[in-house]
A and B are shown apart, each in its own frame.
Chain A
Amino acid sequence: MKEKETAADSSELLASLVDGCKSGDQQAYERLIGLYSPRLYGYLLRLVGRPDDAEELLQEVFLRLVRSIGSYRHDGQLTAYLFRIATNVVRDRHRRKKVRPHQVAESEAAEDDAGLALGDQVAGDEPAPDASLGLRERADALNQALGRLPEEQRQVILLRHFSELPFGEIAQLMDCPVGTVLARAHRGLKRLRELLGDDIET
């Protein structure tokens, strides 16, 4: 009951924020930024690897939102809408660079080996080096393994993780059948565990 009320409140809040954004209300945009930027940033960072690139892309996501909000019809799918924009922004970036996405990921994973990107960001605010060393190593290994997955698998896994959307909605935003999305998630996660030598551990 309480959960339903919270969902309804959240839905009403989003609807009012969308209305505010449509009328050009800066405050409404700021609320949306506050609500969504952590998840979108996480998604973009894991996809492109570099914090400055992730921030640049996140800025582009919100600029595209400003430009397209007029034609957006709010039907409770704002999360999917924002993650679709984010996915398109990354795709456009790969097109501009004219490289295959997972090549970027692999080269960035290689840079991670030199301690340049993902690992630093993941544990950047962790205070005690001794306490966080294990966590940081684990995070580094996970990020490198993610970078070695094919782009489609990595994207599905990260979308599921950061957007918190069900696979059916992820399939819609990626314009592909839900069976394909499920298969990518299954293969990708299985491969991820293999890469980490963690395929037996539960």
Chain B
Amino acid sequence: MTSKPDNMDRGLTPEDRALLGPRIADELEANVAWLAGRLDRPATPPGLSARLAQAVRGELAARRRRHRILPWSGAAAAALLLVSAMLWYSLTGVDRDDQVARITPPGLPTSTELASARPTAADADLLVENYETTVNRDVVSLVAMNRGVELLGRELDPRNDVPGGEPWAALVDSYDH
């Protein structure tokens, strides 16, 4: 069984007619109507809707599965990245120092400088000052943690210790002597 689209007598809009001009517009309208009278909508194959619904159901189920798995895979990827980074840092100390030295902001003592000579109070002040002003706090923290803390012989976690707080004060004090 076939059926015809039901709007083919709607014709052209005034804007369409203005674009085409009256003669062409009339011709096009007549031709559209002519085709509407000839070109039927083909019958759909038996069971088409059911097959389409099944495909959609499968896609929806796959999407639900993906949504369930995605947060866990994201967390797993983040954990893997973190472990890899930690391993990299622990296995490539020399490279890390070089990198820190390379990206240390200008004027700040590099890790090499801190290692080769006892830092002065000015160095420590500079560290603290830079920590508070530079955008590259991780670098400053890393220099302080790896060299300053070793000199102090105590743990200092730059993620937890606030500049100006007790560990930093101890660090600064230690440079004075």
Contact = CB atoms under 8 A, between A and B. Distances in A.
Interface of A: 24, 26, 29-30, 33-34, 37-39, 41-42, 45-46, 51, 55, 58-59, 62-63, 66-67, 121-122, 124-125, 138-139, 142, 157, 160-162, 164, 166-168, 178-179, 182, 185-186, 189-190, 192-193, 198, 202
Interface of B: 1-3, 5-8, 10, 12-13, 15-16, 19-20, 24, 27-28, 30-32, 34-36, 38-45, 48-49, 51-53, 55-57, 59-60, 63-64
Contacts of B20: 182, 186
Nearest to B4: A161
A33 B56 contact: yes
B2 to A, nearest CB: 7
16 contacts: A24-B64, A33-B53, A33-B56, A37-B44, A37-B48, A41-B44, A46-B39, A51-B45, A58-B52, A66-B56, A66-B59, A142-B38, A161-B8, A161-B39, A162-B41, A190-B27
A87 B1 CA distance: 25
B64 A193 contact: no
Contact of B2 (A39, A46, A122, A198): A122
A63 B59 contact: yes
A75 to B, nearest CB: 19
Given A34-B49, A39-B5, A186-B24, A161 B36 contact: yes
A11 B13 CA distance: 21
